[in-house]
């Protein structure tokens, strides 16, 4: 009787064992997915179970950072470097606790085939999962953004879409139209045109438009030394007026070494009550030229020179209402410390060098015209 009962229970034992096995085969991957994310689609059924079991066995080796207070360090992944080598070097650098566990996690998630070569900033305060995610993108967290001398703020905006920064041209122009507070050199209700200092800037990719404008204007403030202010004052110019004139000098001077001479011409004309008659002011007034795909129409026609705008210094005397571009430090220094010359005129030399020929009288100026 007892043997018959045992034989009768056997099917139930087998069924229970089968159900337990099925449950384990389902539960282990389920738990791994819950803790570590879904497995790679390329893994087969048994591979999913095998790697799921390994990850659950590792536990804290994959979920806890090596050092919650660890500092950042540079880690370079070479082109074509095997995953095993990467994992081993990460362990040696103290960035992951166990190279084997980290490699198994990469394979489980399918991240082993998408690690990018490049230079990374990693930290032992990151979990292995965070480190693995970081290795999928070699894009640096910071980018270098260039503002070129003589750009107007629309040209700075146009450079943003390909810069790597998240700021849109529209957001930048809106922020640049409302200057940050606390800048004594910017009058109320003016834009930051002229004060977006040309330079190379290392910026976080996610910088806001407001912070970008603040960074550029703050850099201008850093270069606005007492000596520079004193030089402007000696020319009878406020900072805003000096920057306006420097922006014209910047656009006129193809050769930077001529900036002090060009500044002297405009200062001489202002002192004599003559109109500045500067082509860049007309170009600024005309705005974007869709045919030339440029903000600086060239050449100008006779009709352009009569364009009615307060920025047109052929029509209106004195300085234009505001800067027409963002001048370099050299152009600012040229206005603060101009060359001492008797010149009232200049025109481009005929040799294509970008240099200018200067003249004291209008007759001399006419004689300097190209044949």
Q: What is the pLDDT of residues 260-272, one digit of tens each?
A: 999 999 999 999 9
Cβ atoms within 10 Å of 270's Cβ, excluding its own: 19
Question: Contact at 8 Å (CB) between 151 and 326?
Answer: yes
Q: Which residues partner with 147 through β-bridges?
A: 199
| Paired tokens of 57 | 């066995």
* Superfamily of domain 12-139, CATH level 4: Endolytic murein transglycosylase (3.30.1490.480)
pLDDT digits (tens, 9 = 90+) for 215-253: 999 999 999 999 999 999 999 999 999 999 999 999 999
Rounded to an integer, what is the distance from CA 302 to the centroid of its chain?
A: 40
The DSSP call for residue 71 is: P
Say how far apart CA 301 and CA 294 lie, in whole Å: 16
Query: Looking at the predicted structure, is the pLDDT value of residue 366 above 60?
Result: yes
Q: In this predicted structure, what is the pLDDT of residue 10? A: 61
**Residue range 9-35: average pLDDT?**
62
Q: At what angle do helices 239-252 and 226-234 cross, to 10 degrees?
A: 90
Token output for 142: 């910071």
As a whole number, the mean pLDDT across the chain is 90
Please state, in angstroms and rounded to a whole number, the distance separating the CA atoms of residues 340 and 344.
12
Per 3-state DSSP, the chain is made up of helix, strand and coil in percentages (nearest 5) of 50, 10, 40
| Predicted local confidence at residue 218, as pLDDT | 95
Of the two residues 338 and 129, the one the predictor is more confident about is 338
Rounded distance between C-alpha atoms, residue 368 and residue 61, angstroms: 80
User: Residues 336, 334, 189, 192: is their CA dihedral positive or negative?
Assistant: negative
Q: What is the mean pLDDT of residues 135-152?
A: 88
In this prediction, what percent of the chain has a pLDDT beyond 70? 92
Cross-strand bridge partners of residue 3: none
Domain with CATH 3.30.1490.480 in the chain: 12-139
Return the pLDDT at 1.
Answer: 45
* pLDDT tens-digit readout, 293-333: 999 999 999 999 999 999 999 999 999 999 999 999 999 99
Write the CB contacts of 330 (distance below 8 Å, at least 6 apart in sequence): 149, 256, 259
pLDDT at 23: 47
Band (89; pLDDT cuts 50, 70, 90): very high
pLDDT of residue 68: 87
């Amino acid at each position: 009787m007892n043997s018959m009962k045992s034989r009768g229970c056997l099917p139930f034992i087998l069924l229970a064992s089968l159900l337990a096995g099925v449950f384990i085969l389902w539960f282990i991957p389920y738990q791994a997915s819950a803790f570590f994310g879904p497995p790679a689609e390329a893994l087969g059924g048994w591979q999913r179970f095998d790697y799921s079991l390994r990850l659950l066995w590792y536990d804290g080796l994959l979920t806890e950072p090596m050092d919650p207070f660890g500092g950042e360090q540079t880690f370079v992944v070479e082109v074509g470097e095997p995953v095993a080598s990467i994992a081993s070097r990460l362990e040696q650098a103290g960035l992951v606790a166990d190279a084997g566990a980290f490699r198994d996690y990469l394979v489980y998630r399918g991240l082993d085939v998408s690690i990018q070569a490049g230079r990374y900033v990693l930290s032992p305060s990151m979990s292995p999962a965070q480190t693995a995610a970081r290795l999928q993108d070699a894009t640096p967290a910071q980018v270098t953004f260039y503002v070129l001398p003589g750009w107007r703020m629309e040209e700075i905006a146009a450079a943003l879409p390909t810069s790597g920064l998240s700021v849109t041209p529209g957001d930048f122009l809106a922020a640049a139209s409302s200057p940050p507070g606390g800048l004594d050199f910017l009058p109320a209700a003016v834009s930051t045109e002229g004060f977006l200092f040309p330079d190379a800037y290392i910026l976080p990719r996610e910088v806001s438009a407001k912070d970008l404008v603040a960074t550029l204007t703050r850099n201008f403030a850093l270069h606005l030394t007492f000596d520079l202010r004193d030089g402007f004052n000696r020319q009878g110019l406020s900072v805003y007026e000096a920057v306006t004139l420097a922006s014209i000098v910047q656009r006129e001077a193809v050769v930077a070494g001529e900036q002090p001479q060009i500044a002297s011409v405009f200062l001489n004309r202002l002192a004599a009550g003559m109109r500045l008659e500067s082509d860049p002011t007309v170009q600024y007034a005309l705005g974007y030229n869709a045919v030339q795909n440029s903000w600086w129409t060239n050449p100008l026609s006779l009709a352009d020179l009569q364009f009615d705008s307060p920025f047109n210094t052929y029509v209106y005397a004195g300085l234009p209402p505001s800067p027409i571009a963002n001048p370099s430090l050299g152009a600012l220094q040229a206005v603060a410390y101009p060359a001492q010359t008797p010149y009232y005129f200049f025109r481009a030399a005929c040799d294509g060098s970008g240099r200018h020929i200067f003249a004291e009288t209008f007759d001399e100026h006419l004689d300097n015209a190209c044949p």
